[in-house]
Chains A and B, each alone.
Chain A
Amino acid sequence: MTFGQLVRKNVIRQKRLYLGYVASCSVSVMTLFLFMNVAYNPAVVHGFMPSAARVIMLASGWIVGLFSVFFIFYFHAAMLRLRGQEFGVLQVLGTTPKQLGRMVMLESVLADGVALGCGLLLGLLFTKLFLLILGDLMALPSEIPFAAPARSWLLTCVVFILIFAFEAYLMASRIRRRGPKELIVGKRSRQKPPRPSILLSLLGILLLALGYYLAIARSIQTLASLIGLLVIIALVIAGTYLVYTQGLVWLLMYLRRRVQSGVSVLIVSRLAHRMKDHARALTVISTLSAVVMTASASQLGLLSVLKQGEAIREPFAVMTWTNSAHPLALAPRQITQKLQAAGAGVTMQLTGTALEGSLQQPSAAKGTRSVTVVSASTFEDFVDAIRSHGADRGASYPNVPHLKPGHALYVASFPLMTPTQFHSTPTTLRVGTADEEPLVVDGQINERTFNFGTTAVSDYVLIVSDPDFHQLAAKAPKDSVWAVHGWMASDRARASSAFGTQLPSSQVSVVEPTDVSTLRLFSTMIFAGMFISLMMLLACGNTIYFRLLNNQAEDRVQFRALRRTGITHRELGRVLTVEFSVLFFLPFLLAVLHTIAAVIDYRHVLMVPGRLWPMCLAVMLVYFGFMIIYFVIARFTYPRQLRIDQPNRTR
């Protein structure tokens, strides 16, 4: 038998091992190829759909490429670890390390070649489907013509050949460096009884708690940067790892002293011994699952936020701003008539007075900001109107606390992005050309009360007490005093079309129908995201699969011995059910906790209720569904692979 034949036979005989590896590589290749095919489709390049959609496809492709690197390395390393004994025996028999390295190299080339071919083929098959769905999502007038441009072939091949070559080289040199003894006994010498430390267990829980606390209480905005986010992620990953390696093992060892009868003895001891080996995989899965679930939930949540955006951007169906220098062609009464004629159903009309002012910014952000100054009672009138008209919106508006003379509240009307600037901050206010008045800004409200685009004054509002307002108004020049009118309508769609172009947009804000193209772009992003999530999910399943294979040889011996000692199939089944449940659902559980913390944090940034929680729940359920499928398949195929009941083979 020649060396080449040995290699070929090895890959074919180890097909079950290689199957998982080749399948995940193929899916990576396929996904990248798909995204590239769309991004470099000539029709797409020449503006068949919004360029932003193309950017999404490209970015998704690169994300896939990046993650592929990690997974291909991880899976290949796991696979080679499984074959430690084989390599050890080969070395004992006189295979030189160099030969062994060459064997691993050749095997990788063979497997990777197959993966690349399969991936490209699958990609080609799915491109058409992908384009169809995409066209539908973007509501394009006609189908995107199918194409597999040379550029995407080239990019996919170059990227993966580079990854594969680097990976094959690295794995080969790793095997070459390990001696036969390490390879053969590596497994057994690791099988020390676990000695969990209670201190490290507590540290793990502490790190997790700290991570969650930072995310929930301090949130991204106060940590204010990527570094803050990275710190939280690092804390959570480290905490998760410690919980698995220490906390859980500690719990299992504790249980072990308690449980003394039935198959539970077996279950607890096996889990306790293996948890340390599982820990790395479980940490990876927990983290990855949390990332996938958070990303999906927040994307879907943001979509619902966008849909709500209309009501948030324009709390009033119509809002006008007028003063002596800027009169309107239509008087308020005429506007009401027009709305009613259009069938919008006016339910409320409000009037108030506002001043144009400029506020000295707190020291961190220098300069002045122009603000709309209103009295506390005017502001409350408008808030009350919003409260009584939008059931789910009203609740989030805080009550305006009583303001002392010389004190004010700052209202930042951008619920999507709102750094907190004021907190009992002394500053000065100038109205019109009058003198600067000292005042203290007690706090900040992050809600929108006046329609977006009321550019006549400013989107930032300053609330002062009623007496202060009257004093300011008395001193203010005429053209700094504005009258604001707001209309609530029961049919906002009709209200939006009541005026045509009669009114200047600088002074009048009329409710706008939601921007459809934005929504479409968003759907595209979610679609691409779904593909990536699916790939990650596959990666998670694969990781667990390799963990299972790792134990298979050992389990075969154990279970056959147990069969002789007289264990029933049902009892063996219970052992497997509990162990597999831990492997599949425990990471999911931790991932759910991580996700909840992340989504709470995300909500701080959004400051809009949206449908984040329902979306989050839906994503979790889907994910859970996938895990159940994986679990069922693994749980029912595993005993068959062990071939416990073939009696004549004791080893």
Chain B
Amino acid sequence: MAVLTANGLVKIYGSEPGALVHALNGIDLAIELGEFVAIMGPSGSGKTTLLNILAGLDKPSGGQLVIDGEPVQALSGDALALFRRRKLGFVFQDFNLLDTLTLAENVALPLALDRRPAREVRKLVEGVMARFGLEESQGRYPYEVSGGQQQRTAVARAIVHQPALVLADEPTGNLDSASARTLLETFATLHAEGSTTILMVTHDPIAASYSDRIVFIQDGKVYSRLEREGTREAFFQEILHTLSILEVSGVDIRPTRP
């Protein structure tokens, strides 16, 4: 079953004819239940734009988008917010935890906003945090723990309500390599358990190698796809190889540039 289907997504910024930016030029994407997909691409290729559209934060200029059976474009305003609250989980590059809430409260936030009963919330939160090795720091505030712990909390927050799809924008971008590895292993575990569908945008080939499918985009178009077949190490080598081709072809596309 497809959790997400996108057909010919187009996004054009600006309104004056001379100054239009074609951030997305017809993206097709399908993600199945339980998949872990990474999106890679050079800076300015449209990754963040795509993610924002998938999250319903921005409207596409054209194309269709269906998530978990719901056509996202048909939703608006509060319905869209409720859709995000129940069906999506979000992990940001800079964590975005609320400084005024403890880690446990941050994780509980999506459930609390949905007015779930307090006991159920506590049980779910404790379960998720224990899984990410955060039991000790439940009562601490975001600025009292490390970046890695903050990001794991953010992941806990993104999955605590069992969303259909978890969206992550450069989740390892602000982490040191050890913390990044812990985080990615968390993603891998979630994926291995088979329940969570993850879409991650990243620059980092190591991060991408944890996924089982990679979509490369360039200039707002899907440029290439890569599926993992063997071990992670092998996949990593394949990614590096694809990236090197991408870079070469990038030069080929714009031969006039030095």
Residues of A109-161 contacting chain B, CB below 8 A? none
Give Cα A191 to B144, complex, Å. 10
A188, A263, A265, A560: the one contacting B143 at CB < 8 Å is A188
A567 at the interface (CB under 8 A from B): yes
A592 to chain B, nearest CB (A): 29
B94 at the interface (CB under 8 A from A): yes
Q: Is A564 a contact of B84 with CB atoms below 8 Å? A: yes
- Proximity string of chain A (176-210) to chain B, C-beta cutoff 8 Å, 1 when within and 0 when not: 00000000000010010100000000000000000
Q: Is B105 a contact of A269 with CB atoms below 8 Å? A: yes
- Least CB separation from A258: chain B residue: B118
The stretch that binds B, out of A289-297, A461-469, A568-576, is: A568-576
By a CB distance below 8 angstroms, the chain A residues around B81 are 563, 566-569, 571
By a CB distance below 8 angstroms, the chain A residues around B108 are 260, 265
- Least CB separation from A650: chain B residue: B92
A125 to chain B, nearest CB (A): 42
B49, B82, B98: the one contacting A568 at CB < 8 Å is B82
Give Cα A560 to B117, complex, Å. 26
Q: Is A565 a contact of B121 with CB atoms below 8 Å? A: no
Give Cα A274 to B169, complex, Å. 30
Q: Is A262 a contact of B52 with CB atoms below 8 Å? A: no
Q: Is B94 a contact of A564 with CB atoms below 8 Å? A: no
Q: Is A564 a contact of B112 with CB atoms below 8 Å? A: no
- Proximity string of chain B (131-153) to chain A, C-beta cutoff 8 Å, 1 when within and 0 when not: 00000000001010000000000
Q: Is A647 a contact of B82 with CB atoms below 8 Å? A: no
Q: Is B115 a contact of A262 with CB atoms below 8 Å? A: yes
B94, B111, B113: the one contacting A567 at CB < 8 Å is B113
Give Cα A558 to B77, complex, Å. 19
Residues of B210-229 contacting chain A, CB below 8 A? none
B204 at the interface (CB under 8 A from A): no
B168 to chain A, nearest CB (A): 12
Give Cα A648 to B113, complex, Å. 24
Q: Is A558 a contact of B118 with CB atoms below 8 Å? A: no
Whether A260 touches B110, Cβ cut-off 8 Å, given contacts A269-B105, A566-B82, is: no
Whether A564 touches B55, Cβ cut-off 8 Å, given contacts A260-B112, A261-B112, A569-B81, is: yes
A651 at the interface (CB under 8 A from B): yes
Give Cα A492 to B166, complex, Å. 87
Q: Is A647 a contact of B58 with CB atoms below 8 Å? A: yes
By a CB distance below 8 angstroms, the chain B residues around A647 are 52, 57-58
Residues of B94-114 contacting chain A, CB below 8 A? 94, 96, 98-101, 105, 108-113
By a CB distance below 8 angstroms, the chain B residues around A274 are 100
By a CB distance below 8 angstroms, the chain B residues around A565 are 84-85, 90, 109-110, 113, 157
B242 at the interface (CB under 8 A from A): no
By a CB distance below 8 angstroms, the chain A residues around B105 are 265, 269
By a CB distance below 8 angstroms, the chain B residues around A651 are 94
A517 to chain B, nearest CB (A): 60
B12 to chain A, nearest CB (A): 13
Q: Is B99 a contact of A191 with CB atoms below 8 Å? A: yes
Q: Is A566 a contact of B49 with CB atoms below 8 Å? A: no
- Proximity string of chain A (548-571) to chain B, C-beta cutoff 8 Å, 1 when within and 0 when not: 000000100110111111111111
Whether A261 touches B115, Cβ cut-off 8 Å, given contacts A564-B55, A565-B85, A566-B88, is: yes
B252 at the interface (CB under 8 A from A): no
By a CB distance below 8 angstroms, the chain A residues around B78 are 568-570
B241 at the interface (CB under 8 A from A): no
B232 at the interface (CB under 8 A from A): no
B83 at the interface (CB under 8 A from A): yes
Give Cα A10 to B86, complex, Å. 44
By a CB distance below 8 angstroms, the chain A residues around B52 are 647-648
By a CB distance below 8 angstroms, the chain B residues around A570 are 78
- Proximity string of chain B (23-67) to chain A, C-beta cutoff 8 Å, 1 when within and 0 when not: 000000000000000000000000011001001011000000000
- Proximity string of chain A (231-265) to chain B, C-beta cutoff 8 Å, 1 when within and 0 when not: 00000000000000000000000000000111101
Count, chain A residues at interface, CB 8 A:
34
Residues of A264-300 contacting chain B, CB below 8 A? 265-266, 269-270, 272-274
Range of interface residues on chain B? 35 or more
A505 to chain B, nearest CB (A): 74
Q: Is B84 a contact of A566 with CB atoms below 8 Å? A: yes
By a CB distance below 8 angstroms, the chain A residues around B112 are 260-262, 265
Q: Is B118 a contact of A269 with CB atoms below 8 Å? A: no
Give Cα A570 to B77, complex, Å. 10
Whether A571 touches B113, Cβ cut-off 8 Å, given contacts A273-B99, A561-B98, is: yes
Give Cα A270 to B85, complex, Å. 21
Q: Is A557 a contact of B96 with CB atoms below 8 Å? A: yes
By a CB distance below 8 angstroms, the chain B residues around A558 are 96, 98-99
Q: Is A650 a contact of B58 with CB atoms below 8 Å? A: no
Q: Is B92 a contact of A561 with CB atoms below 8 Å? A: yes
- Least CB separation from B95: chain A residue: A561
Q: For B101, B108, B118, which residue has the most chain A Cβ atoms within 10 angstroms?
A: B101
Q: Is B57 a contact of A554 with CB atoms below 8 Å? A: no
Residues of A308-339 contacting chain B, CB below 8 A? none
Q: Is A263 a contact of B100 with CB atoms below 8 Å? A: no
Give Cα A170 to B48, complex, Å. 46
B58, B100, B116: the one contacting A269 at CB < 8 Å is B100
Give Cα A66 to B143, complex, Å. 42
Give Cα A568 to B83, complex, Å. 10
Give Cα A635 to B104, complex, Å. 30
- Proximity string of chain A (563-596) to chain B, C-beta cutoff 8 Å, 1 when within and 0 when not: 1111111110000000000000000000000000
Q: Is B85 a contact of A567 with CB atoms below 8 Å? A: yes
By a CB distance below 8 angstroms, the chain B residues around A563 are 57, 81
B244 to chain A, nearest CB (A): 29
Q: Is B57 a contact of A261 with CB atoms below 8 Å? A: no
Give Cα A567 to B77, complex, Å. 10
Q: Is B113 a contact of A566 with CB atoms below 8 Å? A: yes
Give Cα A554 to B142, complex, Å. 14
B54 to chain A, nearest CB (A): 11
Q: Is B94 a contact of A650 with CB atoms below 8 Å? A: yes
Q: Is B82 a contact of A569 with CB atoms below 8 Å? A: no
- Proximity string of chain A (630-651) to chain B, C-beta cutoff 8 Å, 1 when within and 0 when not: 0000000000000001011011
Residues of A447-475 contacting chain B, CB below 8 A? none
Q: Is B94 a contact of A261 with CB atoms below 8 Å? A: no
Give Cα A88 to B57, complex, Å. 33
Give Cα A261 to B84, complex, Å. 18
By a CB distance below 8 angstroms, the chain B residues around A567 are 81, 85, 113
Give Cα A650 to B174, complex, Å. 14
Give Cα A565 to B157, complex, Å. 9
- Least CB separation from A264: chain B residue: B112
Q: Is A261 a contact of B143 with CB atoms below 8 Å? A: no
Whether A561 touches B96, Cβ cut-off 8 Å, given contacts A262-B112, A566-B86, is: yes
Give Cα A565 to B154, complex, Å. 11
- Least CB separation from B55: chain A residue: A564
A649 to chain B, nearest CB (A): 10
Q: For A263, A274, A565, A651, which residue has the most chain B Cβ atoms within 10 angstroms?
A: A565
Give Cα A564 to B91, complex, Å. 9
Q: Could you list which residues of chain A lie within 8 angstroms of chain B, going by C-beta atoms?
A: 188, 191, 193, 260-263, 265-266, 269-270, 272-274, 554, 557-558, 560-571, 645, 647-648, 650-651
* Complex A-B, nearest 7 residue pairs according to Cβ-Cβ distance, in ascending order: A566-B85, A566-B84, A561-B96, A647-B57, A260-B118, A273-B100, A568-B78
- For this complex, 27 residue pairs linking A to B, each with C-beta atoms less than 8 Å apart, are A260-B118, A260-B121, A261-B112, A261-B117, A265-B105, A265-B109, A265-B113, A266-B98, A274-B100, A561-B92, A561-B98, A563-B57, A564-B55, A564-B57, A564-B84, A565-B110, A565-B113, A566-B83, A566-B86, A567-B85, A568-B78, A571-B81, A645-B57, A647-B52, A647-B58, A650-B96, A651-B94
Given A260-B112, A564-B92, 7 more A-B residue pairs with CB atoms under 8 Å apart are A558-B98, A561-B90, A565-B110, A565-B157, A568-B78, A568-B82, A569-B81
